[in-house]
Structure 1
Amino acid sequence: MSLVNGTEIFKAAREGHYAVGAFNTNNLEWTRAILAAGQETNTPILIQTSMGAAKYMGGYELCLNLVEQTVKAMNITVPVIMHLDHGNYEAAKECIEVGYNSVMFDGHDLPFAENLEKTKEIVALAHAKGISVEAEVGSIGGEEDGIVGAGELADVEEAKQLAAAGPDYLAVGIGNIHGVYPANWKGLSFERLEELAAVIKIPLVLHGGSGIPKEQIIKAISMGISKVNVNTECQLVFAKATREYIQAGKDQQGKGFDPRKLFAPGTQAITDLVKERIEWFSTPEVK
């Protein structure tokens, strides 16, 4: 199946009170692992690159080609959305030009008026080519490729204005953070999510999905969250499985040092985690 944009998939998720997972790729193994999980569960999947990961991998065009060719090579038949995660203005424009199916313009660190204006520009450019757009209001806690947020709660009025600018989905700050959650984290603000969901009808996005307790994620989805981003947990399970493989001395048995064998446990760990999160999100099978 060729890649698709996310507009109808996430609209259906909002209406159906479920979510579709968004998982970051960092290389070939990550790409294969994420796609395998979507295929094995027969559910749509969103695979995304951050600006930093795309730079590491060789650029946005290479990332897009990697996903497209891997979908073809693995005979993936479920819908796959190729998305830019936390892109600035220049990155969003480049990914639109390259041919991503969906882009996030993250202008939360700009003055609100500038964020609003640039969001409108990105929406116009993207929609002219059938590409979906994610915007962000309020900062997401932690750090993502140098973009640092304190985890503030999204302003409801600003969120209304940004949603009116025409994005297909909106990332909101409701106490969520990127990276590992600290022991003193206070949890998601369901009060703010309720306020946002009451006035914004487009799908809402929960960033920092790694480490949020299952019951909180399920409740957030029931209240309007339609896209849940997961990255850190994939990194952690990959590192753990790889470490266990080496500590067990398997890399020194026969040709256990071959990267195809060395990376296999970590790759499988990502697939297993993604499948588990798909179950959490109640993503329905493709009919």
Structure 2
Amino acid sequence: MALVTTTEMFEKAYTGGYAIGAFNVNNMEIVQGITEAAGELRSPLILQVSAGARKYANHTYLTKLVEAALIENDIPIALHLDHGDDFEICKACIDGGFTSVMIDGSNHSFKENIEITRRVVDYAHERGVVVEGELGKLAGVEDDVNVSAEDASYTHPDEVEEFVSRTNVDSLAIAIGTSHGAYKFKPGHNPVLRFDILDEITKRIPEFPIVLHGASSVSQEYVKIIQENGGNLSDAIGIPEEMLRRAAKSAVCKINIDTDLRLAMTAGIRQVLFKNPAIFDPREYLKVGRSNIKDVVAHKIVNVLGSDGKA
């Protein structure tokens, strides 16, 4: 099966009351773990690549790994650029075979965000590629994205209609309380997603696909394993899964998950090396990390996204 865009995925997800998981990939084991889980559960899938991943693994290596996954798994897969921060990186990914790109103009003024998003949309649509835009600023750290709590801001519902109509964007990432990274909230703070903002946005742009970034739940099981095997991740807190499931039943058609994959991989590697310090074969510890990735993705598909059996 060839790569697909997210257009049909989102149409089915919106009407079906589920969301598509957008999982970040950085190497072969992560691609394998994600796609094996989705393939076995018959779930549509978005594999997304950040600017940091392209620097680390190289654009060509990543796209060829995804091509291999398409051969091994008969499910619809979209290849998406996560947090493209300028036209050039979006263009490179469009020209390089991606079927979806995100242009993150949230650091610009509203007017400038519209201008840069529209430029990417025009270029992408001429080539059959879809575009995700963003309004609002998520706090937290992920690769090159670093926004302090003071600079974060919720999406303003009164801006979404103009933004969507003037940019012709295909989906919209919004800020309703999610956050990038493993340290999303301070200890003792109860995570709250602003469903009132989501509901108002849905009223303003009905049947339009909404995206949630920074939506990892930060599995305390894996945090504990990391802590017990020489790591230091105290106070790592994520988004409760029941909130994400509620979002997936609404207008949210795409939920981004990255930190949970990093924790799963790290927990597996640390556990093997801490207990067996004589091991030096990378396959011995990477296969455990890969297995953890598969378990996490399977759990998310069934219990959070609700996308199992929807391929």
Q: Give me the TM-score of the superposition, normalised by structure 2.
A: 0.86
Matched, 1:272 2:272: no
> Match of 2:198?
193
Query: Which one-letter code corresponds to 2:274 in the other structure?
Result: Q
Q: Paired residue for 2:79, among 79, 82, 88?
A: 82
Q: Secondary structure at the match of 1:139?
A: coil
Q: Paired residue for 2:275, among 215, 235, 248?
A: 248
Structure 1, residues 150-182: CA drift from partner, whole Å, max 9, x if none? 442101122222222211111000011001222
> Match of 1:142?
140
Compute the displacement of 1:71 (Å): 2.5
> Match of 1:283?
307
Structure 1, residues 61-115: CA drift from partner, whole Å, max 9, x if none? 332222113332xx21001110000011221111111120100000000111111
Inter-partner Cα distance in structure 1 for 2:28 and 2:60 = 14
Query: Which one-letter code corresponds to 2:17 in the other structure?
Result: H
Compute the displacement of 1:194 (Å): 0.9
The number of residues matched between the two structures is 280
Q: Secondary structure at the match of 1:39?
A: helix
Inter-partner Cα distance in structure 1 for 2:308 and 2:13 = 9
Matched, 1:236 2:263: yes
Q: Secondary structure at the match of 1:263?
A: helix
Inter-partner Cα distance in structure 2 for 1:270 and 1:161 = 39
Inter-partner Cα distance in structure 1 for 2:5 and 2:130 = 6
Inter-partner Cα distance in structure 1 for 2:110 and 2:282 = 47
> Match of 2:28?
28
Inter-partner Cα distance in structure 2 for 1:137 and 1:76 = 34
Inter-partner Cα distance in structure 2 for 1:53 and 1:134 = 19
Inter-partner Cα distance in structure 2 for 1:186 and 1:274 = 22
Structure 1, residues 236-258: CA drift from partner, whole Å, max 9, x if none? 11111111111221x63xxx432
Structure 1 segments of 4+ aligned residues over 4 angstroms from their partners: none
User: What does residue range 1-287 of structure 1 map to in structure 2 within 5 Å?
Assistant: 1-58=1-58, 60-72=59-71, 75-89=72-86, 90-149=88-147, 150=149, 151-164=152-165, 165-180=167-182, 181-182=184-185, 183=187, 184-200=189-205, 201-211=207-217, 212-249=239-276, 252=278, 256-279=279-302, 280-286=304-310
Q: Is the 8 A contact 2:26 2:62 kept in 1?
A: no
Compute the displacement of 1:186 (Å): 3.8
What root-mean-square deviation, in Å, do the aligned CA atoms of Structure 1 and Structure 2 show? Answer: 1.5
Structure 1, residues 244-285: CA drift from partner, whole Å, max 9, x if none? 111221x63xxx432122201111101100010001211141
Q: Secondary structure at the match of 2:179?
A: coil
Structure 2: state its 5+ residue gaps: 218-238
Compute the displacement of 1:223 (Å): 2.5
Compute the displacement of 1:286 (Å): 4.0
Q: Is the 8 A contact 2:48 2:82 kept in 1?
A: yes
Inter-partner Cα distance in structure 2 for 1:84 and 1:185 = 31
Q: Give me the TM-score of the superposition, normalised by structure 1.
A: 0.93
Q: Is the 8 A contact 1:135 1:162 kept in 2?
A: no
Structure 1, residues 4-53: CA drift from partner, whole Å, max 9, x if none? 11111012111221101000001111111111111111111111110011
Compute the displacement of 1:2 (Å): 1.3
Q: Is the 8 A contact 2:80 2:98 kept in 1?
A: yes
Q: Is the 8 A contact 2:19 2:307 kept in 1?
A: yes
Compute the displacement of 1:185 (Å): 5.0
Q: Is the 8 A contact 2:19 2:249 kept in 1?
A: no
Q: Secondary structure at the match of 2:180?
A: coil
Inter-partner Cα distance in structure 1 for 2:34 and 2:153 = 30
